[in-house]
């Protein structure tokens, strides 16, 4: 069953057309990855979904409801969490404050506590560092914090933009393992990655985006063994 459907979406930055009519579907419970080189339009796709940039034509349907061009905070209420490229945690706030920002819409203290416990189950290090300022954490810890903050929202759809960027291979492994676990727990994942091999490895399905257009799509294994994909992204 489709959770998210992107239909013929075109997005511009001023006169620059970043998305040229893309179609992407994400079904409930899937891990779907969007791979492609620098500037292909991956981040713009996520931003178009979460409402950070305006869609010019086409539409985006989430859970049967059109969400194109809604304000970003309204989409978070619907259960869409977006972990942006470069993490964007609040560097001057503590780990705890960063996490609580993720639950800004939740008033019920018991739910906040439950969500914090869940975040600590996935990221035990965050529990040890609650009073540390976010900006003083390592890249891997900041990625964990950004993901933890997104989890505080209680998302049904978690969109991750380049979670592996700039991280040591061992940390990347951990992050991908956690993405799989979150998915097994029922969270649908839309994963943007330049690390195509690892992304396709854990994904149910993938899309290759090139110059604002979807060039290829298929299940993760098909795409890993596809010649064009191997030459362009797995070399
Ligand atoms: P990267 O990994 O480098 O971020 P990407 O696939 O995520 O690549 P996008 O960031 O979506 O690519 O960029 C798609 C196109 O839109 C590129 O040509 C980029 O230069 C352009 N673009 C992105 N953001 C802006 C912006 N704020 N203003 C103008 N053009 C932009």
Q: How confident is the model at residue 89 (pLDDT cuts 50, 70, 90)?
A: confident
Q: How confident is the model at residue 235 (pLDDT cuts 50, 70, 90)?
A: low
- Taking residues 25-53, report their average pLDDT: 95
Digit-coded pLDDT (tens) for 120-168: 999 999 999 999 998 899 998 999 999 999 999 999 999 999 999 888 8
Which protein residue's CA is at the shortest distance from atom 2 of ligand 1?
Answer: 38
Digit-coded pLDDT (tens) for 174-218: 999 999 999 999 999 999 998 898 899 999 999 999 999 999 999
Ligand 1 centroid to residue 48 C-alpha, Å: 12
Q: What is the mean pLDDT of the chain?
A: 93
Ligand 1 centroid to residue 29 C-alpha, Å: 28
The pTM of this model reads: 0.94
The answer on pLDDT for 231 being more than 90 is: no
Rounded to an integer, what distance in angstroms lies between the CA atom of residue 205 and that of residue 220? Answer: 5
CB of residue 98 inside a 6 A radius of ligand 1:
no
* Residue appearing with tokens 């839309």: 190
Helix and strand element counts for the chain (H, E): 10, 10
Digit-coded pLDDT (tens) for 13-31: 999 999 999 999 999 999 9
Ligand 1 centroid to residue 39 C-alpha, Å: 5
Q: Ligand 1 pocket test: which of 15, 16, 232 has the largest number of ligand atoms within 8 Å of its C-beta?
A: 16
Q: How confident is the model at residue 73 (pLDDT cuts 50, 70, 90)?
A: confident
DSSP 56-98: EEEEEEETTEE-TT--HHHHHHTTEEEE-TT----TTSBHHHH
pLDDT of residue 144: 93
Which protein residue's CA is at the shortest distance from atom 30 of ligand 1?
Answer: 13
């Amino acid at each position: 069953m489709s959770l998210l459907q992107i239909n013929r979406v075109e997005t511009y930055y001023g006169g620059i057309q970043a998305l040229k009519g893309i179609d992407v579907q994400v079904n409930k419970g899937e891990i779907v990855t969007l791979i492609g080189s620098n500037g292909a339009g991956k981040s713009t796709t996520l931003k178009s979904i979460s409402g950070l940039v305006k869609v010019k034509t086409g539409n985006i349907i989430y859970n049967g409801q059109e969400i194109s061009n809604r304000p970003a905070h309204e989409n978070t209420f619907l259960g869409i969490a977006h972990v942006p490229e470069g993490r964007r945690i609040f560097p001057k706030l503590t780990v705890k404050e960063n996490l609580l920002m993720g639950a800004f819409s939740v008033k019920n203290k018991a739910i906040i506590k439950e969500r914090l416990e869940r975040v600590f189950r996935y990221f035990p290090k965050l529990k040890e560092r609650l009073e540390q300022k976010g900006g003083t954490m390592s890249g891997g810890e900041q990625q964990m914090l950004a993901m933890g903050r997104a989890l505080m929202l209680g998302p049904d759809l978690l969109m991750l933009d380049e979670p592996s960027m700039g991280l040591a291979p061992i940390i990347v492994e951990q992050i991908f393992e956690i993405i799989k676990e979150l998915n097994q727990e029922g969270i649908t994942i839309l994963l943007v990655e330049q690390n195509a091999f690892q992304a396709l490895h854990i994904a149910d399905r993938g899309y290759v985006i090139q110059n604002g257009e979807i060039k290829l799509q298929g299940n993760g294994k098909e795409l890993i063994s596809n010649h064009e994909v191997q030459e362009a992204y797995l070399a």
